[in-house]
Amino acid sequence: MLKLTRVLLCAAAVSIVSLAQAADPILIKFSHVVAENTPKGQGALMFKKLVDERLGGRVKVEVYPNSSLFGDGKEMEALLLGDVQMLAPSLSKFDKYTRKLQIFDLPFLFDNIQAVGRFEQSPEGRALLTSMKGSGIVGLGYWHNGMKQLSSNKPLYEPSDARGLKFRVQASEVLDEQFKQLRAVPRKLSFAEVYQSLQTGVVNGQENPWSNIYSQKMHEVQTYITETDHGVIDYMVITNAEFWDGLPNDVRTQLQSIMDEVTVEVNNQAEQLNQRDKQNIIKAKTTEIITLTPKQRSEWREAMKPVWKKFEGAIGADLIEAAQKANIAQ
Ligand code: LMR
C-alpha cells in the first residue's frame, strides 16, 4: 500500500513538472547594437510591449541593446546557434549570406528615405526577405534608420578633402570600395568600437544617420559633419528559420502581425528621431554642420558612382533598376 502511494505521488509530481514545463513561455532574445532612443532601439521595445500585452504568458521577449549581449562580430552566429532569436542588423552586414542586399550600400542610389521605403515594399524588395532561408535566416520586415551623413575631424566639402583620411566602415565590401574610390582608407570596425576609435584617432571619420551619431556621442569626438545623405542605414529584422518554422502556427501568425504593426510605427517615427538628434547635435555646439551646394553634392556622387559598376554583377542589374524606379513616387 505504502509502495503504491509512493508511486502515485511520484507520478503526480512528474505530471506537475511537465505541466509547468508545458506552460513555460517561448523565449525570444532580441539583441541589437544601438542605443534605446534610436529607431531600432524603440522598435525592439515596442515589439516587446505588444508581445507582452497580446501573447503574455505564451511568449516572453527580452531586449538586449547596445551590444550588451552580442556585438556585430558575433550576433549573426549567435542567431544561427539559437543563442538569440531576433536581431535587426543593418542591411550592410549580410555580405556573408547574400550579395543581393549589397544593393542598399550603393552610394547615391536612393534620393531619400521614402524611396528606400518604396523599394523595400516592392515585390523585388520583399523577395529579399526570404533570400537567406538557405542559410537559416528569415527576414520579418525592414525598419528604417535614415540617410547617412559623413563625419570627420576635418571639414569635407569636396571628395578630394577625404583623400588619405581613415574612415570606419561596417563589414561591407561596397562601403569599403566607396571609400577607396575617394582614395581614403576604410577600416572595418564593429559599431561598439566606433566612439573609441574616433577618440583615439584609429580612424578620422565615419558615416551614420544623426540618431546613431548623437546617441553614441560621436559628435563629441568629431568636429565636422557634412550633410551628404549619400547612402542609407536601414535594418532587416531577422529570425532563425528553424525557430520560426517550429513555432505553433497561431503564435507565429500573431508575432508576424505584431511585427508588421511595429514596422509601420518605426518607419513613421524614424525621420523624426533623426531630425531631433540633428537638432541635439546643433545645440551641443561641438560640431560644425556643413551643407553642400548642389554642385558639391554632385561631385561626391560622381566620385563614388564607379562603385556601382564593380558590384553590378553580384547584385544584378535588374535589381538596381528596380531600386532606381523607387526614386519616382507613384
Ligand atoms: C553601424 O554599424 O554603423 C550601424 O549600422 C549600427 C546600427 O545598427 O545602426
Does 268 map to a domain?
Answer: yes
pLDDT (average), residues 91-117: 97
Rounded CA separation 136/74 (Å): 16
pLDDT (average), residues 101-128: 98
Domain count, the chain: 1
- Answer whether 145 contacts ligand 1 (Cβ < 6 A): yes
Provide the whole-model pTM. 0.93
Does 10 map to a domain?
Answer: no
Closest approach atom of ligand 1 to CA 207: 3
Which of 233, 266, 277 has the most ligand 1 atoms within 8 A of CB, as the residue to mutate?
233
Does 168 map to a domain?
Answer: yes
pLDDT tens digit string along 2-31? 555 555 555 555 454 444 445 699 999 999
Q: Which domain holds residue 243?
A: 23-325
Does 14 map to a domain?
Answer: no
Does 12 map to a domain?
Answer: no
- Answer whether 103 contacts ligand 1 (Cβ < 6 A): no
C-alpha cell at 201: 584617432
CATH of the domain at 294: 3.40.190.170
Strand order in the sheet with 26-31: 59-64, 26-31, 86-87, 232-240, 137-147
pLDDT tens digit string along 243-280? 999 999 999 999 999 999 999 999 999 999 999 999 99
Alpha-carbon radius of gyration of the chain: 23
Does 330 map to a domain?
Answer: no
Does 9 map to a domain?
Answer: no
Residue pair 209/151 in contact by the 8 Å Cβ criterion: no
CA-based nearest residue to 320, from 207, 196, 174: 174
Does 16 map to a domain?
Answer: no
